[in-house]
Structure formats: C-alpha cells, structure tokens
Chain A
C-alpha cells in the first residue's frame, strides 16, 4: 500500500501539485490519469523520490518515505520496480544482462540461480529468443516487456509504470496492460501506472486518480467512470467521438 497525504509540489512560482491525498492499494492496478501537463508525471516522480515534495507525506506501508534520508530510501528502493516510458534499458547491455543487472547489484545469488531467475522473468513476459540481443535490436513492444522483466526481477513490492504503452500499437498496448495487471495480482504488488490511454483505463483501471491542473479532481474505478458527473473528467475521458457514442449507448 502507498498512501499520499496532502502532497504539494511547485517549481519556482508554478504550483504543479496541490494538496493530493490518496491511498493506492496492494494487489491492484492503480492508474493516475490526466491531460498532458496536469502534473501526473511530477506526481509519479515525487512518489518514487526523483522529485522532493514541498510538503505532505508519502507512506510506503507505514514507512514515511518523505522523512527518510538517502540511505534509508536506498533500502526501500530495492522494493521498487519501475517501467519507464521509453523502457530505459541500458544500451550497452544485452536483454539478458539488462534483466540480470539488479540481481548483480543487489542480490547474493550465485550465477546459476541468477540465470534461472532471469530466464524465469523473461519467460514470464514472453521473451523467448532475444536474450543475447541489444535493446536497439528489438522492437518497442519487446523493449517494454524486457523493462517489465527487469522491474520484477527482484520481486518488488511496488511497481511503477510511466506510460507503459505509449508508442505501441493498440494490440501490443493491451498485451502490455494485461501483463502488468497479471503480474500485479500474481505478486500482490502495489502498482501505480501513469497513463492517458483510455484503453488502459477501461482494461485495468481498478483504481483511478484523475488529476486536473495539479489538483485531485476525481477518484474511482473503471466501472464508475461512465457514471461520473465530474465535468473535467468527462471532458477528458469522452474527448473522442467513439467514447461519446459508447457512453450514449450505455
């Protein structure tokens, strides 16, 4: 579980996050949605500590992340996995070495156990014959899957994904969404996904936080989103004619 209490963040005079409070449950896919520039990336980066919040608290379970020093955060980071928008795989390492990297850095496994764990994670994300290839030699969808494998290799309690299906075709995007959802349920992780893809919202949005201009504007699930009276959320979700028609039919 991750809980945010009255989180504020500004850059100079620009208030980016304003009094955000929410609880993200374990074993669920929690989505942060909002328009471009609404503050969702800053919120995600604040949760993982790449940005310092101005005030407010972020709790990982009962541990106050905002009150931790560098070394204390280092320990909690070993419980985190992150899938970046572009994958952020290390260019100079092969697929296998990328997935093995967190094990090399932080585990005391012997080489055989490491190899077995890497193979297990790559099999889990359905990467079969690309172990020895470099990131530049595989497709965008495969890069995302390798990034997921790297993120889960240390069995994290918390998984963060920044627009995991951006730049992917709709079919591959849904495959990635479902994969993240399955892994979340399987390992009972607290997963937070930053997205503005409505397909993801409908497919896996068990809990959704909608941010508008840095303020929490709505909180609910994908089942509740069609019935909301929130105007800014309706403008965001039903921006396309397709979704407007779907809403009318419902």
Chain B
C-alpha cells in the first residue's frame, strides 16, 4: 500500500473511531480498564527509566562543569530542565511507543485474525470505535500523569546520584531545581505528551486493525506500529517545539 493510501486509510479509520459510543456505561468501563492497562501497567518502566535518566543527566552535567565561574546549582537546574523539556515527554513517549504500541497492535491484530473484530461487526458494533476510542481517551488522560511522575522521579534520581557521587551538595542541587522556573515549559511538554499519547494509540491501533493473515502478520504489524509511531513522535516533537517555543 502506498504512503498516500495509508494516510487516506488512517483518516477513514479515525473517522470510524471518533463516533458516538454505543453504550456510555460500557464505554466508561472500557476507559477505566485501558487506563489501568496503558497507564498503571507502564508506571514501573517509566519510573525505572526516569530515575536513571535523571541520575545520568546530573552526573554528566556535574562532570562537565569545569569552569569554576559556573555555579554548582546548575546541576539541579539542568536536570530539571532536561527532564521537563525533553526526557519525560519525548524519551518516555518513545519508550511507551515500544511497550504500549506493540501491545495495542498485537492485541487488536490478534482479534482481527481470530475473527473477533468480525464478530463485533456482525453484532452491529462499530469495532473501531469500541476497541480504539477508549484506548485513545485513556492514554491522553493518563500519560500527562506519567509525565509528571517521570519529572519528579527523574529529578529525585539526579539528586540521589549527586549525593552518592558527591558531585554537588543537596542544598545546591535543590536550589538549582527551584531556580528560574518557567511554568510555560511544563505546559509545552504536557501538550507534547498528549499529542504523543494520541500518536501511540491511534497509529498502533491502525496497524493492528488492518492486519490480514496470521500470527506472522500480527508480529509485522506490531513492529510497523512501533517504528512508525516512534518516527511520528520525533516528527511531532520537532514541529511542536518549533510552534510552541518560537
């Protein structure tokens, strides 16, 4: 299928996804389940990655501050800014594209090849809406919380690393963390997180939904979902940064 056809099919797919749910109660139940599956189950990996990222950023910054005129609190400041601006939104987004994206594509792809999606259609259920809409809503809702947790844990990781490696004092680090805060940067990153959440869930669902064949194709769709959502995240990151930080 050509690139243009793919985009056309994706738009038509989204048109089916964003329609009125059949039963509100079931729709909300689905959202709660998806929040647990996509958000709560991703908490572990987000925390682990964030704590190590924060620690590495603080150590790298400390080891590269050769100039005695540069204050020590810059380590805390740099860790905070890096986590807020890029790592907790984009890197965590990429990690989730791998974990959540492959999960969604293989789940929906398996449903397609085992005719579960056909079964929904025969019953008169809009399968795209029923399966995908709750995932998009859940990810768009929960990912900003994951972002906030990632920022907090990353900064804590940086503080711990600085303390254990004895690079800067706790007081200097904490002063840096609180130094010159620009609240708009948090809004900017939250916007990015929401966009990335939409990309991960919709693109992965798209590849899973249109699988044809057997388990081999489900695996291929899962890989395509991860690769393409990662590329789209990077592209969206560039565009949003240009638009929002200009």
Q: Which of A10-18, A85-93, A120-128, A220-228 contacts B (4 or more CB under 8 A)?
A: A85-93
Q: How far is the CA of A48 from the CA of B120 in the complex (A)?
A: 12
Question: Nearest Cβ in chain B — how far from A129, in angstroms?
Answer: 24
Pick from A85, A89, A102: contact of B123, CB under 8 Å: A102
Pick from B115, B124, B125: contact of A84, CB under 8 Å: B115
Q: How far is the CA of A73 from the CA of B26 in the complex (A)?
A: 22
Measured CB to CB, the residues of B under 8 A from A are: 22-23, 26, 110-111, 114-116, 118-119, 121-125
CB contacts under 8 Å to B, within A100-142, are 101-102, 104-106
Would you call B118 and A84 a contact (CB within 8 A)?
Answer: yes
A104-B23, A105-B22, A105-B23 in contact; A50/B124 too (CB < 8 A)? no
Residues of B within 8 A of A249 (CB): none
Q: How far is the CA of A102 from the CA of B120 in the complex (A)?
A: 9
Residues of B within 8 A of A86 (CB): 114-115
Per-position binary interface string of chain A over residues 142-185, scored 1 when its CB falls under 8 Å from any chain B CB and 0 otherwise = 00000000000000000010000000000000000000000000
Q: How far is the CA of A104 from the CA of B21 in the complex (A)?
A: 13
**10 closest A-B pairs (Cβ-Cβ)?**
A77-B124, A88-B115, A88-B119, A82-B122, A74-B124, A84-B115, A88-B116, A78-B124, A102-B123, A105-B22
Q: How far is the CA of A186 from the CA of B123 in the complex (A)?
A: 22
Would you call A77 and B122 a contact (CB within 8 A)?
Answer: yes
Would you call A105 and B116 a contact (CB within 8 A)?
Answer: no
Question: Nearest Cβ in chain A — how far from B197, in angstroms?
Answer: 22
Q: How far is the CA of A74 from the CA of B124 in the complex (A)?
A: 5
Residues of B within 8 A of A78 (CB): 123-124
**Residue in A77, A84, A88 with the greatest tally of chain B CB atoms within 10 Å:** A88
**Residue in B23, B122, B125 with the greatest tally of chain A CB atoms within 10 Å:** B122
By secondary structure, the B interface counts as: helix
Pick from B111, B115, B122: contact of A80, CB under 8 Å: B122
Would you call A104 and B26 a contact (CB within 8 A)?
Answer: yes
CB contacts under 8 Å to B, within A45-67, are 48, 50
Would you call A50 and B118 a contact (CB within 8 A)?
Answer: yes
Residues of A within 8 A of B123 (CB): 77-78, 80, 101-102, 105-106
Residues of A within 8 A of B125 (CB): 105
Pick from A85, A89, A106: contact of B124, CB under 8 Å: A106
**Nearest residue, chain A, Cβ from B117:** A88
26 A-B residue pairings within 8 Å (CB atoms): A50-B118, A50-B121, A50-B122, A73-B124, A77-B121, A77-B124, A78-B124, A82-B118, A82-B122, A84-B119, A85-B115, A86-B115, A88-B114, A88-B115, A88-B116, A88-B118, A89-B116, A90-B119, A101-B123, A102-B123, A104-B23, A104-B26, A105-B123, A105-B125, A106-B22, A106-B123
Residues of B within 8 A of A82 (CB): 118-119, 122
**Nearest residue, chain B, Cβ from A85:** B115
Residues of B within 8 A of A90 (CB): 111, 116, 119
Pick from A80, A84, A105: contact of B26, CB under 8 Å: A105
**Nearest residue, chain A, Cβ from B116:** A88
**Residue in B23, B116, B119, B121 with the greatest tally of chain A CB atoms within 10 Å:** B119
**Nearest residue, chain B, Cβ from A160:** B122
Q: How far is the CA of A82 from the CA of B124 in the complex (A)?
A: 12
Question: Nearest Cβ in chain A — how far from B47, in angstroms?
Answer: 26
**Residue in B22, B110, B111, B116 with the greatest tally of chain A CB atoms within 10 Å:** B116
Residues of A within 8 A of B22 (CB): 105-106
Q: How far is the CA of A250 from the CA of B114 in the complex (A)?
A: 42
Would you call B116 and A91 a contact (CB within 8 A)?
Answer: yes
Q: How far is the CA of A80 from the CA of B122 in the complex (A)?
A: 7
Question: Nearest Cβ in chain B — how far from A154, in angstroms?
Answer: 8
**Nearest residue, chain A, Cβ from B26:** A104
**Nearest residue, chain B, Cβ from A154:** B123
**Nearest residue, chain B, Cβ from A80:** B122
